[in-house]
Amino acid sequence: MAKPDFFDEIKEGLKAQALVSPDTYVSPEVLREFYADIVKPPPVPPAGPRPAVPPGGSARPGVQSVRQTPPAPAPNMRSSSAAPAGKSPREMTWDELANAVAACHGCKLCRTRTNTVFGDGDPKARLMFLGEAPGADEDRQGLPFVGRAGELLTRMICAMQFNRAEVFIANTVKCRPPNNRNPEPDETEACRPFIMRQISLIRPQVIVMLGAVPLRLLFPDVKEGITRTRGHWMDYHGIKVMPTFHPAYLLRNPAAKADVWKDLQQVMAVFGKKHVPSPRRR
């Protein structure tokens, strides 16, 4: 049977939610999605030159101006044998960085990993997704978001009228924490220089932060959690950042897909993309 797409999932989530709590408030915007027929997104045109960041950039109304202090200096990585000796991640090229990640023994996760997970997609992507840490499937394959949460992320990306090859998907931490626990502070700190360098080399127009772990990493001074920050633009060194729920959370709480869909539509708008509901139901 064909897999439901992201819009079907939103509808199913809302139906389920309405059964358990009939008086749940559903905004008109979500209701429109709920009743709208699904119009398949048009095929994505081949990647062209990057448009300039929209005028006003992160100073647009609605953008929460959370400016970050410059990234912390790289901690000592005990072994990055494939990287040029003495070079900090801040100075590395993309390939050097990939080699440094593959050879990293900077924290205890190196002892239990099968593969490091550098990231996947277009190193020149305009849109980047930042997750938490690899799980069992990702550890096995060395690729991010290839398990169940990854399937959902792929459908979210398609619903946004992008495909996986034209965005970049990375994790805050490059090695799997045992038993899928959350990465510990020393682990995120050890990996911080890698993700910082990836962000500065890619220099995407927008980063979608998936869940609380990337929120803590990029915005350590923000006290609110993901539930409060989601849907509100943030600014990371001039890059627009949209925090939203992690796909694994959506697998457990399908009703939250409607919120995530609202967040993703804000991101789509930055790229001039718009979900068009069926004319019949509009």
In the complex, the residues that contact ligand URA under the rule CB under 6 A are 131-135, 138, 144-145, 147, 149-150, 171, 248
The Cα–Cα gap between 160 and 154 comes to 10
CB atoms closer than 10 angstroms to residue 210: 30
Q: Which helix (H) or strand (E) holds 15?
A: helix 6-20
Least distance in Å: CB of 208 to ligand URA? 12
Nearer to ligand URA (CB atom), residue 145 or residue 162 = 145
Least distance in Å: CB of 123 to ligand URA? 17
The Cα–Cα gap between 268 and 262 comes to 10
Least distance in Å: CB of 150 to ligand URA? 6
Nearer to ligand URA (CB atom), residue 249 or residue 261 = 249
Q: Is 163 helix (H, G, I), strand (E, B) or coil?
A: coil
Least distance in Å: CB of 148 to ligand URA? 9
Q: Is 54 helix (H, G, I), strand (E, B) or coil?
A: coil
Nearer to ligand URA (CB atom), residue 144 or residue 204 = 144
Nearer to ligand URA (CB atom), residue 17 or residue 198 = 198
The residues with which 37 forms a beta bridge, in sequence order, are: none
Nearer to ligand URA (CB atom), residue 151 or residue 189 = 151
| Phi, psi (rounded to 5 degrees) for 128 | -125, 140
Least distance in Å: CB of 103 to ligand URA? 20
Residue of minimal Cβ distance to ligand URA: 131
Tell me which residue of 112, 166, 164 sits closest to 143, measured CA to CA: 164
Q: Are 115 and 141 in contact (CB under 8 A)?
A: yes
